[in-house]
A and B are shown apart, each in its own frame.
Chain A
Amino acid sequence: MPELTIDGRKVSVPDGTTVIEAAEQLGIFIPRYCYHPGLSTAGNCRMCMVDVENSPKPQIACNLPATEGMVVETESEQARKDRAAVLEFLLANHPLDCPVCDQAGECDLQNYYMNFGLYDPRFSEQKVKKEKAVEVGPHVMLDQERCILCSRCVRFTDEITKTGEFGIFNRGDRAELGLYPGETLDNPYSANVVDLCPVGALTERSFRFKARVWYLSSTKSVCGGCSRGCNTDLHHVTDRPHLNDAERLVRVKPRFHAQVNEWWMCDEGRYGHGWIDRDRLGEVRRRTDEASRRQVESDWDAAENALAPALAAANGRLGVVVSATQTTEELFSVREVLGERFGARIVVAPQAPGGKGDDFLIQADKAPNRAGARLLGLSDAPADGVESLVDAAIAGELDSLWVFGEDLVELVGAEKTRSLALSDCLFVYAGTNDNPTVSLARWVLPTAVPVEADGTFVNCDGRVQRVGRAFAPLAQARECQRVLCELASRAGVADAPSWSTTAEVFAAIAKSTDAFAGMSFESLGEQGALAASREPLAEAGTP
């Protein structure tokens, strides 16, 4: 445990710690471009140079092992000069096209110039010309002129995906980042290079000219694209509908979690969020007359008036299909209200067949919360579980069938779903997005998507993580627990729950379910917590 001094403050660090890491422990930020804790050390940008006592030359903090008694200055006159000199070199051939660069506002050339540069530029020669706006893959755009050749992206495709698409070709100031002619950057994790790029050389095609980053708000969240539960930041905008084609969610960025996803996420998860703003169910709908089975717009009051008496009279003749894409809080609300109060038979829709996983982050189960359903005692239905429930409804053994989020047409087929629609069973659909089943229901109840309601997913390793709330439910959509509490109350249930927030639902879960004992929304924080469970939660474990 060497003890060293950085900017006059002492810190003890484990053997092998570098100065850049030791400084971080003191809250001292040393600027860097090529250094990234998830990649090998390149040491080429020279931005992190620090002044070390008894060293004739400045040293790069990213490759400097901390040693006993070392004295480091990051703010000395020399260190400031060193950094400003490096910045001037990096910006010499940079096109300075910030006004049309998507990176502007989150660019480390801009940030560092303001924080560590502020020199009077001397460069007045012709800049080196390179390729701009090269579509290197389905998600990524390359601008060679903006590239500072830090090689983070090259190391990512070498070391993390091991796909080796990127290379730096030529030498001297003709060196340029690129792909072998005809190759495409299309590995399942390709867009991580955009996050890694400290400048505007690699940008997201989907974000191109969509919004200036300073108009975006950010919410900490968790990806719902599979059971890995990669930690994310959601970038969204609601007060400027002219941006991002009026969609609220603009982009998703991975957020570091040492045990879940480190710095990365897959493209499938990153770009699989279009459903949050598209094809949403925005209004309560009901079937007008039995003959035409036409749906018209309705409202919550009417829905509750119609559905509460039906629930009150259910007397156990009630079936419910829930989805492992629902949050733990939604599933718990269904279990507590429809299961406990009205005696519903609840089945969880099984894992969709054909999902592919890999040995890195991507899991074969594309539902984010199957582990959460299991912890609540809502075990997967047998293979024909959903079908037998629908059969029972068609056969008149159930008075009502509620389907949450799942597409029955996909699960049991169009014919059987139509038979259900024609039967006497009260078929209620509650969900977020349109699908072929929706138009066949007698009632359609629009619910909030997880990031409109907050809530938790339990990932494949049993980690309980909050999805956060980025914006309010769209149009008439309501949080699931609110819908169910009000129905229970309207149905005259004596001990109807009265959760007004998702946090309260979670508190109820923690109180009633051993696996969540002692947890609260606050204690979950940004890193989540492992559920206490003796059972394996999923086939796939940690990578």
Chain B
Amino acid sequence: MSFAHLSTRADEIIALYEYPQAAMLPLMWLVQNDHGWIPPEGEAWVAERLDVAISRVREVLSFYGMFRAEPMGRRELKVCTSLSCRLRGSEELLEAFSETFGIRPGETTADGAVSLTKVECLCACELSPMVQLDERFIGPVGAQDTGTIAAIAQDARSEPTSPEAAPEPSPFIDSSGPILSTRFADPGGVWFDAYTADGGYEAARKVLTGMEPKEVIEQVIAANLRGLGGAGFPAGRKWSFVPTDGDKPVYLVVNADEGEPGTSKDRHVMERDPHALLEGMLIAAFAIGAHKAYVYIRGEYFRPAQRLQRAVDEAYEKGWLGSDVAGTGFALDVVVHRGAGAYICGEETALLSSLEGSKGQPKLKPPFPAISGLFGCPTIVNNVETIACVPFILSHGPERFAAIGTERQGGTRLFCVSGHVERPGVFEEPVGVTLRELIEERAGGVRGGKRLKAVIPGGLSARILTAEEIDIAMDFDSVGAAGSMAGSAGVIVMDEDTCMVRTLDSAAHFYADESCGQCSPCREGTGWIHRIVKRIGAGQGKLGDLDDLLTISHDMEGRTICVFSEAAAWPVQSYITKFRGEFEDFIRSGRSLQGARSPEVSNA
């Protein structure tokens, strides 16, 4: 087994990075794309090319869900079973595919044609229930929709087509603007000429030719732009933490590892308006003094990565990236870097570990990335959506941006509303929009005239809200004051028939699966919680389990390197606290989740 034919490409890849080991994930992708999996000889080849111990390569191979340690089918059908899809029947969909192919999840058909895989959230929740066939997203696919299931099965058994040739579905994606979605209507993506015709790169030109970095930061601070990845930290203030007198290079890293269940926003920016992201990166890089930027895109996002890479190539060609951007003397190189299937890499320091070629495990703070981040150098990590807002702020002025939002948070967000609503989709709204408006007006209200039971307002990790708690503005501070968080703006809606034990089962499975395993409380706690919840779901629960779940989740909280343990704890605590009677009834009844199908599916 030889990998010599990959050497030239490997050299090109390694040359993109400051340190060879940072090319770990790209080289493993190279091997996997070539062989269909990563054989031991491939691991040895990567170790040798990067001059690392082979155990480091195995750590990476075993950590990321998308790397294959054994051969799989020629094509892979992934069925998302995270909460948004599950609420719309993904368990039944998985069973349907299982029957169609005659294999269980995790297996490959006898002829080696298709592997069926159960995966966690692919962040296309507006398509739920959805599947991914190799690189392509398909949805919604109802479990009763036998025609679509048969067509997908047929497709899976045939030769793959290029993802651009096979169009993805067009769910409801708002393109009404005013900031992020104005160019979303063009399904082919907005390329350089169209973008510049629309006034694109003028903000960057203005910044590069006539402003000081300090002024740019001041404008972003004045705009009240908050970190839209989920934490809500003021973006301009974050930029101001970078030392201006250091002798180390400064890096800008764009977090495109969109992974919070219920979220769907960054993918649309990269697919539909990639130059807006690049222009935002140019301005941000100028403000913090960075001349190298990385975009870390989650591994499942093939098309976003391809489109962003095409935009990067265009920008180099047109002189908007490289050693002398638009003749201004400012230099910026951009590398599009792909992850390989690990939710935790959305945590900024885990993302940096991953980008450095290791397992995606969060780093200790202090030091903070702005002081010592990527390769030990000052680094600013910003979410895609955050950076995509920046050109608007510089072109229209911070006052305009701030005015669109609330007192302490400017602008709009791309809200993804999924679950039991009439019209799941992605909607750009001012951050002050209320949760009720999003559900009832934008998403058409609860499906089938049912009553609302509960909403998760900001992605799976946010504490659940009851039907009585939805009259809140969706900016970070208001949702926080209501006891939850605006998070990643992933709104998951549950109707009156939703079984909360099933909902908790979904969340507990997700966090147990995705814990990086580094800190003891999270590693052991997520698994422990999942096993208790599974036992309850199997009809073997005890009433005392509920208090145990509360104390175990409390014991995890705040005792780990990153906030994953909080993210895992809050769903447990809020579901049990707000729906305790339902949990107790379920346990007393001796029912099991397997025995009785959840009623919500019958309405699908």
Contact = CB atoms under 8 A, between A and B. Distances in A.
A46 B548 contact: no
A170 B63 contact: yes
B526 A180 contact: no
Contacts of B561: 43-44
Interface in B473-527: 512-521, 523-527
A109 to B, nearest CB: 12
A58 B558 CA distance: 7
A165 B524 contact: no
A88 interface: yes
B278 interface: no
Contacts of A92: 524, 527-528
Contact of B517 (A41, A82, A170): A170
Q: Which of A65, A85, A170 is most buried by chain B, counting CB atoms within 10 A of its CB? A: A85
Contacts of B526: 172-173
Contacts of A168: 59, 359, 517
Contact of A173 (B56, B344, B517, B559): B517
Interface residues of B, number: 44
B40 A181 contact: yes
A167 B521 CA distance: 20
A174 B517 contact: yes
Q: Which of A45, A47, A158, A175 is most buried by chain B, counting CB atoms within 10 A of its CB? A: A175
Contact of B524 (A47, A166, A173): A173
Contacts of A89: 520-521, 523-525, 528, 555-556
Contacts of A170: 62-63, 517
A49 interface: yes
Interface in A169-207: 169-175, 179-181, 183
A259 interface: no
The contact size tier of chain A is 35 or more
B68 interface: no
B552 A173 contact: no
Nearest to B529: A125
B51 to A, nearest CB: 11
A126 interface: yes
Interface in A125-140: 125-126, 128
Contacts of B62: 169-171
B54 to A, nearest CB: 5
B52 A93 contact: no
A89 B55 CA distance: 27
B559 A172 contact: no
A411 B56 CA distance: 47
Given A165-B55, A169-B58, A148 B558 contact: no
A89 B553 CA distance: 11
Interface in A63-120: 63, 65, 82, 85-86, 88-90, 92-93
A157 B215 CA distance: 48
Given A86-B521, A123-B528, A173 B515 contact: yes
A163 interface: yes
A180 B54 contact: yes
B53 A44 contact: no
A253 B519 CA distance: 29
B211 interface: no
B226 to A, nearest CB: 21
Given A85-B559, A168-B517, A180 B524 contact: no
Contacts of A82: 559
B303 interface: no
Contacts of A181: 40
Nearest to B517: A175
A122 interface: yes
A123 to B, nearest CB: 7
B37 to A, nearest CB: 16
Nearest to A167: B55
A45 B359 CA distance: 17
B342 interface: yes
A534 interface: no
A402 to B, nearest CB: 52
A86 to B, nearest CB: 6
A46 B59 contact: no
A172 B515 contact: yes
Contact of B520 (A44, A122, A180): A44
Nearest to A151: B518
Contacts of B513: 172
Contacts of A93: 524, 527
A149 interface: yes
Contacts of B531: 125-126
Contacts of A173: 512, 515, 517, 523-524, 526-528
A164 interface: yes
A356 interface: no
A171 B53 CA distance: 19
A163 B359 contact: no
Q: Which 9 pairs, one residue from A and one from B, show the smallest C-beta to C-beta distance?
A: A164-B53, A173-B527, A175-B517, A167-B55, A85-B555, A89-B524, A125-B531, A169-B62, A57-B558
5 contacts: A47-B520, A122-B552, A166-B55, A171-B514, A171-B515
